Structure 1
Amino acid sequence: MEEHEYPNGEITVLWKPKLCIHAAVCVKSLSKVYNPKDRPWIKIENATTQELIAQVAKCPSGALSIKNRT
């Protein structure tokens, strides 16, 4: 399955487009990070690691997930 990675040095946000149901929870809760009109549409540097972790936990489809730095 296609997957895009957005690292910030502490964590990596993973996005799986085929799982996305476009509920827009990410856009509504962290619009400074998620903007579907921009490319790339995820600008992980615009939020803290804790903000990102909290928001990704709310993704209803599981299209967004967190990979910890190893």
Structure 2
Amino acid sequence: MGKTLKKNKVTAVRQACKCIHSGNCVLKHPTVFESKEKPWIKIEDSSTEKIIDTAKKCPSRAST
């Protein structure tokens, strides 16, 4: 199991071992996925819909 983040009724799970580093998350949603920051995922800075949309576009399904 990866890192779990929660916002409203959404639970986002980041599974680093599955990530192929395509950059889709950072390119499509840079306010939430900031690769040079720690923590690099800032789920509170986005709408629930945008988080879901970004996770669905992850080619490796590392973000679900």
TM-score by length of 1: 0.87
TM-aligned CA deviation for residue 56 of structure 1: 0.6
Instruction: Provide the aligned length of Structure 1 versus Structure 2.
Output: 64
TM-aligned CA deviation for residue 46 of structure 1: 0.9
Alignment of structure 1 residues 3-42 onto 2, 5 Å: 3-42=2-41
Identical counterparts, % of pairs:
33
Aligned alpha-carbon RMSD (Å): 0.8
Contact 2:8–2:48 (Cα < 8 Å) also in 1 = no
CA deviations 1:1-55 (Å, max 9, x no partner) are x400111122011000000000000000000000111111100011100011111
* Structure 2: tracts of 5 or more residues without a match: none
TM-score by length of 2: 0.94
Higher relative contact order (CA 8 A, sep 6+): 1
Between structures 1 and 2, the one with greater strand share = 1
Aligned to 2:49: 50
Aligned to 1:63: 62
